[in-house]
Amino acid sequence: MARYARVKGSIALITLTNPPVNALSAAVRRGIVESVSRALKDEQVKAVVFCGENEKFCGGADIKEFSGSMSGPPLVPMIHSIEAGEKPMVAAIEGVALGGGLELALGCHYRVANTKARLGLPEVTLGLLPAAGGTQRLPRLIGIPAALELITTGRHVSAQEALQLGIVDQVAQGSAVQAAMELALSVIGVCVCMLCVYVVCVCIYCVCVTGQPLNPRRLSLRAPVWAPDVDGVCDAALAQVKQRSRGAMAPVACVQAVRAAAMLPYSKGMERERQLMDTLFRSGQARAMQYAFFAQRNAGKWSLPNGSQWNNTRARDVQRAGVIGLGTMGRGIAVSLVKAGISVVAIEMDAKQLESGKKAVTAMLQRDAQRRGVSPPLHLLTFTLSFHQLRDVDLVIEAVFEDMNLKKRVFSDLCKVLRANALICTNTSGLNVDELAAVTDRQPLVVGMHFFAPAHVMKLLEVVYGSRSSPEAVATAMALGKRMEKVCVAVGNCSGFVGNRMLKLYLDQSVYMLEEGATPEQVDQALEEFGFAMGIFKVSDLSGLDVGWRVRKASGLIGPDVDPVKPSRWRLGRRYCPLPDMLCQQGRFGQKTGRGWYLYDSPGSKEAKSDPEIQTFLEDYRRKYGIIPRRITSQEVIERCAFALANEGFRILEDRIAASPEDIDVIYLFGYGWPRHRGGPMFYAGQVGLSVVLEKLEHYHRVHPDVPSLEPSRLLRRLVAEGSPPIQQWKSHIKNLRSHL
Ligand SMILES: CCC/C=C/C(=O)SCCNC(=O)CCNC(=O)[C@H](O)C(C)(C)COP(=O)([O-])OP(=O)([O-])OC[C@H]1O[C@@H](n2cnc3c(N)ncnc32)[C@H](O)[C@@H]1OP(=O)([O-])[O-]
């Protein structure tokens, strides 16, 4: 779908029409090919302008088409025929020009962008490379280093930056289409300043350049962009992406393709681009990353078991919010709210805490504003010790210490001062939202908003609906989270919700492997090679080992009846590993104390070093319990961690705590550092093969019968029995299963 119109007498205006982002579907490509051919044949037409409907140029190739068999005119020859066209072609970029959209614009002879436009080649984030000539044309336009940076990160740039880089020729304050038409007219020799009467080469009044030859504008005709230091630049980029991408193939292929633009003529470079793309396109990594793209968008389309959902429930407008508690979480939440333009009343219990919270929040906002070259919105903040200041807020987010009694006290105090229709949200990471709601006078207006630390940085937000939460409260929390630029997932209420409920089993497996013979370094290395940004023991040190210790004490797993010399490895009817408790007893709380599973130069420093004391500690422990250490392979580490996660994910689906496997994967991708090129734990299980996962879990459960969580879930068994359907169909196999709602 592309609309053709002749405007201003001599310009063909080709408008891409495929809402919402004018993706280059087969129909759009067909429309473009037909329109270009019509424009080239029409003698009245002297120049062509491309634009997109609804002020969005083009969001790139239609990603939905990647999973089926491709039909319609291919992108590469289509763009080539635009570039080769004998009439000037101008791209009028409004909204976005991404991926194939920017590659189409690079095939044009001129590019004009509106000030608000964003441009980029984000294919790398989909496990691909810009294979419609992007890796060959962009370096020829802006040079190797800049092209490498844009293509390997997939970063979007503003129109202004695009102008500085040389990607666009002009930035228009108003309509880019209007500006592109004026540029087109000037290029074909019609000066638009109305002062000159002749068709000229350079109009002396407005200095527009007319009658330009097209060959210098055809990027494919430019020679390779070789420079003496090009090898070094590409080698450095390769080393950097290998380190950053942790096993993802696409960034490496992007560097290889751009290197070809430096060494090879355009046609050979295109061959290289195609070969690399073929490899990526067939890879499981590209499928995983495209799945993640749609899973992220689907998470916003929440639904509750009572039929309420994102498109039939209105969210309330939130102008003023309260934040209770200015610890690490409260500070990050306050910063995110203020950045979203919401007035915040921030409360602490004592003056000292309030002062240090105020300093920290102010500093974070100042740093952020400085980076963006704006002034910090400090006028939106009120710091106070008085709950009375909350009387006219629309919503409160409680972020006090993770203690049920304390939270209950805060909730009932809030009811005394808040307006009757104000929402109360809790940032608990796993406590029962219903139990908290029960102490209030407004159970339908209570929901969980579980942020992840640091809350102003981490993208994930679990919105937890209790059994009495109203759809309107859920809609409001989801909309507020989106305004705070979070990826929001609606989840049901159970201990740990989705993310932390699964995390517990992953942590359990990791420490069991230490008992059996592994070291923290071995486990972490296997996980990092798999693609996690950080191994589980490094993450635990970063978050603080005392957090879990306190939770275990509160839940009765640690008490006075536990033998301090030889603590039991069997509690509440199952295997228990006391190693983390023993570390905490020694004051090893992780980074904050300079010692945890690793050693740090000083408290608070970040570089984890192996600690010989931990090796001795583990050896003594195994000796004490008569455990004969064995070699644990990386494969076993990954299987036990990843399959334990997925197995609990299946149980979460059975319990209807998550609406879909995609939601679980989004939680792991955005909250727990799961590598994007592996889709998420549920996608990974499907990719490995459900029958393989089942077989492995059966094996590990046989070997560890005292770990009931390793027993394969009912849903996994059912899916395997029904022929391992694709992940999109799992939901329909969850029948007659208990709901927590
Ligand atoms: C040889 C090949 C070489 C070329 C390769 C490529 O070009 S690869 C592509 C390179 N391009 C990219 O990687 C760009 C990917 N897109 C984006 O980054 C963003 O969508 C955005 C910035 C364009 C708009 O952000 P926003 O927050 O305003 O909106 P939103 O994100 O919520 O999306 C709205 C709806 O549009 C849908 N949809 C979007 N794009 C595509 C697409 N290309 N295709 C299909 N669908 C697409 C999206 O699923 C959603 O659908 P729903 O849920 O309503 O049914």
Smallest CA separation from ligand 1 atom 13, residue: 122
pLDDT average, residue stretch 105-116: 98
pLDDT tens string 355-372: 999 999 999 999 999 999
Atom of ligand 1 nearest to the CA of 76: 1
**3-state SS, residue 707:** coil
Tell me the best of 1, 16, 18, 21 to mutate to test the pocket of ligand 1, counting ligand atoms within 8 Å of each CB and taking the most.
Answer: 21
H-helix or E-strand spanning residue 196: none
Is the beta carbon of 297 within 6 A of some atom in ligand 1?
A: yes
Is the beta carbon of 655 within 6 A of some atom in ligand 1?
A: no
Distance 576 CA to ligand 1 centre (A): 46
DSSP 275-326: HHHHHHHHSHHHHHHHHHHHHHHHHTS-B-TTS-BTTTSPPPP--EEEEE--
Same domain, residue pair 274 and 205: yes
Q: Global pTM?
A: 0.94
| Residue 305 covered by a domain | no
Q: How many domains does the chain have?
A: 4
Is the beta carbon of 542 within 6 A of some atom in ligand 1?
A: no
Is the beta carbon of 126 within 6 A of some atom in ligand 1?
A: yes
Q: What is the CATH number for 582?
A: 1.10.1040.10
| Residue 502 covered by a domain | no
Same domain, residue pair 251 and 171: yes
Report d(CA 251, CA 289) in Å as an integer.
13
pLDDT tens string 487-532: 999 999 999 999 999 999 999 999 999 999 999 999 999 999 999 9
Same domain, residue pair 610 and 643: no
**What integer pLDDT is reported at residue 207 of this predicted model?**
45
Same domain, residue pair 386 and 467: yes
In this structure, what token pair is assigned to residue 314?
A: 């209105």
pLDDT tens string 518-570: 999 999 999 999 999 999 999 999 989 998 998 898 888 998 889 989 999 99
Question: Given 281, 309, 334, which residue is the final one in a domain?
Answer: 281
Is the beta carbon of 129 within 6 A of some atom in ligand 1?
A: no
Distance 121 CA to ligand 1 centre (A): 12
Side chain identity at 658, as an amino acid letter?
Answer: A
Q: Which candidate, 495, 498, 436, 500, places its Cα nearest to that of 468?
A: 436
| Residue 496 covered by a domain | no
Is the beta carbon of 75 within 6 A of some atom in ligand 1?
A: yes
Question: Given 599, 624, 649, which residue is the final one in a domain?
Answer: 624
Smallest CA separation from ligand 1 atom 40, residue: 59
Distance 21 CA to ligand 1 centre (A): 6
Could you give phi then psi for residue 163, rounded to 5 degrees?
-65, -45
Is the beta carbon of 573 within 6 A of some atom in ligand 1?
A: no
Q: Give the confidence band of 131 by pLDDT, cuts at 50, 70, 90.
A: very high
ipTM of the complex: 0.99
Q: What is the CATH number for 208?
A: 3.90.226.10
pLDDT tens string 600-621: 999 999 999 999 999 999 999 9
Is the beta carbon of 58 within 6 A of some atom in ligand 1?
A: no
Smallest CA separation from ligand 1 atom 53, residue: 297
Same domain, residue pair 272 and 208: yes
| Residue 498 covered by a domain | no
Same domain, residue pair 31 and 123: yes
Same domain, residue pair 640 and 618: no
Atom of ligand 1 nearest to the CA of 60: 7
Pairing of strands 96-98, 118-120: parallel
Whether 452 and 458 have beta carbons less than 8 Å apart is answered as yes
| Residue 580 covered by a domain | yes
Q: Residue 277 sits in which domain range?
A: 2-281
| Residue 307 covered by a domain | no
On the question of pLDDT at 199 being above 70, the answer is no
Same domain, residue pair 167 and 129: yes
Distance 281 CA to ligand 1 centre (A): 18
Is the beta carbon of 60 within 6 A of some atom in ligand 1?
A: yes
Q: Which candidate, 364, 387, 396, 390, places its Cα nearest to that of 377?
A: 364
Smallest CA separation from ligand 1 atom 25, residue: 21
Distance 596 CA to ligand 1 centre (A): 43
Report d(CA 555, CA 568) in Å as an integer.
16
Same domain, residue pair 121 and 22: yes
Catalytic residues: 103, 123
| Residue 698 covered by a domain | yes
| Residue 629 covered by a domain | no
On the question of pLDDT at 196 being above 90, the answer is no
Same domain, residue pair 34 and 89: yes
Report d(CA 275, CA 281) in Å as an integer.
10
Is the beta carbon of 505 within 6 A of some atom in ligand 1?
A: no
Q: Which candidate, 383, 394, 380, 392, places its Cα nearest to that of 319?
A: 394
Same domain, residue pair 614 and 645: no
Distance 59 CA to ligand 1 centre (A): 5
Same domain, residue pair 617 and 644: no
Smallest CA separation from ligand 1 atom 30, residue: 297
Question: Given 624, 643, 667, which residue is the final one in a domain?
Answer: 624
